């Protein structure tokens, strides 16, 4: 479920066959260890957050986001995510928090693992730490029985769209032209928490561009400008097309584009097709 077309993704075929519980546990264990070693090799430590980390996390949150966005993460959100979730922090050799990922689980039908907010200090840009840490907390969710990972992103947050859709493997299951509390539009993101769902949904841009050259626009795929919110709302309300990739300006046109395919190609479960009404 929630799988992007393999024709546009970097795919490791052997992961498709990891389905037994014992094999999934071994996969999670090995992937976590590899990530921990990767982070250790660049001079950082990845560990579970504690309540004493709140101040350091908050400082980084306010550094990386504008005041309105930072205000959306309350102390209550932080408390729940740290005390009852599986929030992780990145710590440098001086004990300073240089990254975090607020994550927690829910008892819905999908046992959703939700990524609430993530940030990396600009001094550590270039290591793809957002992607790496997000994958780690997704593995923790999988370890705890979650079946789907979810998150939220603004449709014009270009850096996050690239990281989340192309590098991490999320797809945009819902679009809200207005989401209360955020006071603006948002995508609801998701991918399946299986070894293949976690690793085989990442976009191969060369394959995606080849796909565009041979597939039929309007039937096999659609391209929508990131800032064309009326078109996004119309697509999500009136068609089965769902955004799965971000195409940076210059690759096809001088516009930043969102690439969508019909959800019938991605085995959407009912819980992911249904969009709760607002108002």
Q: φ, ψ for residue 113 (rounded to 5)?
A: -95, 120
Q: DSSP 3-state helix, strand, coil percentages of the chain (rounded to 5)?
A: 45, 25, 30
Number of residues that this document lists for the chain: 279
Whether residue 73 is predicted with pLDDT greater than 80 in this model: the reply is yes
What's the rounded mean pLDDT across residues 28-45? Answer: 97
For residue range 74-128, list pLDDT tens digits in order.
Answer: 999 999 999 999 999 999 999 999 999 999 999 998 999 999 999 999 999 999 9
Whether residue 269 is predicted with pLDDT greater than 80 in this model: the reply is no
pLDDT at 272: 80
pLDDT at 273: 79
Domain residue extents for the chain: 6-201
With cut-offs at 50, 70 and 90, classify the pLDDT of residue 182.
Answer: confident
SS3 assignment for 85-136: CCCEEEECCCCCEEEEEEEEECCCCCCCEEEEEEEECHHHCCCCHHHHHHHH
- The answer to whether 166 touches 245, Cβ cutoff 8 Å, is yes
pLDDT at 251: 85
pLDDT at 78: 93
Out of 64-73, 157-166, 204-213, pick the least confident.
Answer: 64-73
Q: Residue 165's closest CA among 126, 122, 134, 127?
A: 134
Which tokens in the block code for residue 148? Answer: 């789907």
pLDDT at 183: 82
With cut-offs at 50, 70 and 90, classify the pLDDT of residue 181.
Answer: confident
pLDDT at 53: 96
Whether residue 271 is predicted with pLDDT greater than 80 in this model: the reply is no
pLDDT at 267: 82
Output the average pLDDT for the chain: 93
CA atoms within 13 A on the CB side of 279: 5
Q: Which CATH architecture has domain 6-201?
A: 3-Layer(aba) Sandwich (3.40)
Percent of the chain clearing pLDDT 90 (strictly above) = 83
With cut-offs at 50, 70 and 90, classify the pLDDT of residue 39.
Answer: very high
Write the CB contacts of 141 (distance below 8 Å, at least 6 apart in sequence): 86, 103, 105, 113, 149, 193
Q: Distance of CA 167 to CAs 9, 161, 164, 170, 234, Å?
A: 10, 9, 6, 8, 27
Percent of the chain clearing pLDDT 70 (strictly above) = 99
């Amino acid at each position: 479920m929630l799988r992007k077309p393999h024709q546009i993704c970097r795919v490791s075929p052997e992961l498709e066959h990891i389905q037994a519980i014992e094999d999934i546990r071994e996969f999670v264990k090995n992937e976590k260890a590899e990530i921990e070693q990767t982070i250790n090799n660049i001079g950082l430590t990845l560990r579970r957050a504690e309540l004493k980390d709140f101040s350091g996390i908050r400082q980084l949150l306010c550094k990386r986001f504008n005041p309105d966005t930072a205000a959306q993460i309350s102390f209550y959100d932080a408390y729940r995510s740290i005390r009852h979730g599986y929030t992780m922090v990145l710590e440098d050799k001086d004990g300073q928090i240089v990254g975090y990922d607020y994550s927690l689980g829910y008892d819905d039908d999908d046992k959703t693992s939700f990524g609430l907010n993530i940030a990396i200090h600009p001094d550590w840009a270039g290591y793809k730490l957002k992607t790496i840490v997000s994958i780690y907390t997704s593995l923790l969710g999988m370890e705890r029985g979650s079946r789907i990972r979810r998150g939220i992103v603004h449709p014009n947050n270009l850096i996050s769209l690239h990281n989340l859709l192309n590098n991490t493997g999320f797809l945009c299951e819902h679009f809200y032209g207005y989401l209360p509390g955020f006071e603006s539009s948002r995508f609801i993101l998701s991918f399946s928490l299986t070894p293949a769902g976690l690793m085989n949904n990442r976009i191969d841009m060369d394959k995606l561009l080849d796909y565009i050259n041979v597939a039929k626009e309007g039937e096999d795929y659609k391209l929508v400008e990131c800032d064309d919110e009326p078109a996004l709302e119309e697509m999500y309300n009136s068609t089965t097309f769902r955004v799965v990739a971000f195409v940076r300006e210059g690759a096809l046109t001088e516009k930043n584009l969102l690439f969508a395919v019909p959800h019938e190609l991605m085995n959407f479960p009912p819980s992911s097709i249904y969009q709760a009404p607002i108002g």
